[in-house]
Amino acid sequence: MKIKLLSLSLFAAVIGLLPVAVTAQVVAPQVHSSVSLHKPDSLLRIANAKSEIDYSIPSFTLLKMAIVAANTDSAVNGSDLLANALNHLKAKETPFSIVVNIYEDPATEMAFTWFTNEGVETGNVEIVKGKNIDPEHFSKPLKSASSINTSVHDLNYCTKANALSSLAGIADNGKKNYVSHKAIVTGLIPNTTYSFRVGTEGHWSDTGTFKTAAGEGKGFSFIYTTDPQANTVEMFDISQKTTHAAFQKYPEANFWLNCGDLVQTNGKNNAEWEWEQLFQTQQDLFLHRPFTPVLGNHDKSENRNFTNHFNTDATAFDAALSTSPGSVYSFVYGNALFLAFSFEDYDKPGYLEALAKWMRSQVEAHKDLKWRIAFYHKTIYTGSTSHHDDKDSKTIRDRIAPLMDSLKIDLALQGHDHIYEVIGPVKNNKIVPGSVKNQMHVQVDPRENLTGLMKGTFDLRQGTLFFLNNSSGKKKYEPSAKVQMDNTEADLGVSDYYSLFSGRFGQTGRPTFSNISVKGNQIAITTYEVSDTGEAKLLDEIKLVK
């Protein structure tokens, strides 16, 4: 059987060696001369002599990939692949899958999560002020915090779809054990840059950085992506190109928001390798941008991989009722209240009632803020052929849309439907009359732009804008034509559903990201599509006012 091989550049993407300054292209990692001088046969002997128990799980998997590639086809530069993998082997105590999460107050505190192999029962995060990458700066850290460490047993490592049996000689559905480490640092100064590292003495991570929020009333921006939903090496390469293009275009964005389906394989036999690749291929970004995730249906699993990997200020009812807690939390950034939540356990008795009570309490506690932004995975309104008439969507819409009306939510960022759609402003299941101006009319396209509309200014004083920017990965859905929506009105429970699509609506087939800028009385959303080579091209831009 012919094994599909990794090119050197794709192998670099898998390793995750994409420095922040080189974000739009996949670059081959540098090969250490002491290893690269060996001949391929000699390198194979060195590689085959390595023991898995001595190294971090991600780095040893990459070595196994390199061994298979070097053994299979002489056309592949086996020396370079093996040398790269050997040079990037990490000791078993080394942290991986490192992420910085926004916690309750992003102006004064930050949360951290990382994984290690099993047996590493301690961990710390150390903080110094400024952009200090020299390890000597951490000899007297400004702040430090010990991690809460949780042993995570018997995670399913990979499935048949991941193709690791052929790429790395790793059997499908094998189990691995880990430790999840979580820590929170408080007492930080607003609008200040800090450097950090996580781990233990002698086994520290690379240095990361973050900047605390400037405080209430200050302008800010963030990158919004959704649904990378990858499960193969090639699919992870697509999604990492999208996010690297985003942060190359907007290097000053304050944080990164994602609306779920971070991975593909859910359920009992999900794949921890997919979570591993989410971080490995974008670790340079996760080390330098606070991340705000929510749970997607593909992230939901009995072993709570989502919960294990993120450190959010989750609510009590979420912890008690959700299959994978961690998606129901809020924070204030600038003059905006952000409400993160999940509908994945909507059918559990009491869940939607508890969610509604929590949302009301958060809005009441921050009623003087200018903006209210909700983000979640499963769409409340959508025009994709895959989900626009789903029964669960109708149930959620009937319960949650009136609540969003009463709470005067300004912007709802959605996921799940892998399509580009601008909907609203909506109130009482109808578009607010006279709320959309300054639009550009272009030629109607039955797939890429069904409405023939672009741009526009959307007045949110009387309604909510529901926005979905397609997906940051390969998987795409198709748009429903007006006649399709008209024919399913009974299932939708909304009359003249198609009229809600007030801006661009369609499918270009390319991955996307949005930069969302919040300043004063305006929110600007600029969306780009990303080419196969990682180049960003403007797709649409809209303005929200109130």
Instruction: Express each pLDDT in 399-439 by its tens digit.
Output: 999 999 999 999 999 999 999 999 999 999 999 999 999 99
Confidence grade of residue 132 (pLDDT, cut at 50, 70, 90) = confident
Mean pLDDT of the chain: 92
Instruction: Report the pLDDT value the prediction gives residue 32, as an integer from 0 to 100.
Output: 41
29 vs 299 pLDDT, higher one = 299
19 vs 441 pLDDT, higher one = 441
Confidence grade of residue 6 (pLDDT, cut at 50, 70, 90) = low
Handedness of CA 410, 501, 507, 162 (dihedral sign): positive
Q: Is the pLDDT of residue 234 over 80?
A: yes
Q: Is the pLDDT of residue 302 over 80?
A: yes
- The DSSP secondary structure of 89-125, one letter per residue, reads --BTT--EEEEEE--S-TTT-EEEEEEEETT----EE
Instruction: Express each pLDDT in 74-131 by its tens digit.
Output: 545 677 889 999 999 999 999 999 999 999 999 999 999 999 999 999 999 999 999 9
Instruction: Report the pLDDT value the prediction gives residue 42, as an integer from 0 to 100.
Output: 86
Confidence grade of residue 503 (pLDDT, cut at 50, 70, 90) = very high
Instruction: Report the pLDDT value the prediction gives residue 299, as an integer from 0 to 100.
Output: 97
pTM of the model: 0.94
Q: Is the pLDDT of residue 65 over 50?
A: yes
- Asked if 187 and 143 touch (Cβ cutoff 8 Å), the reply is yes
Segment 238-262 shows an average pLDDT of 98
Share of the chain above pLDDT 90, in %: 84
Segment 366-383 shows an average pLDDT of 97
Instruction: Report the pLDDT value the prediction gives residue 388, as an integer from 0 to 100.
Output: 86
- Asked if 539 and 507 touch (Cβ cutoff 8 Å), the reply is no
227 vs 26 pLDDT, higher one = 227
- Asked if 199 and 310 touch (Cβ cutoff 8 Å), the reply is no
Written as six digits, the tokens of 339 are: 């409400």
Confidence grade of residue 9 (pLDDT, cut at 50, 70, 90) = low
Q: Is the pLDDT of residue 17 over 70?
A: no
* 528 Cβ contact partners less than 8 Å away, ≥ 6 residues apart: 245, 246, 249, 512, 513, 514, 515, 536, 537, 538, 539
CA distance 461 to 17: 45
SS3 241: helix
Segment 493-521 shows an average pLDDT of 97
* 442 Cβ contact partners less than 8 Å away, ≥ 6 residues apart: 449, 452, 453, 454
Going along the chain from its start, the domains and CATH numbers come out as 8-87 (no CATH), 96-211 (2.60.40.380), 221-545 (3.60.21.10)
Instruction: Express each pLDDT in 19-59 by its tens digit.
Output: 443 333 333 333 344 454 455 688 899 999 999 999 999 99
Instruction: Report the pLDDT value the prediction gives residue 73, as an integer from 0 to 100.
Output: 64
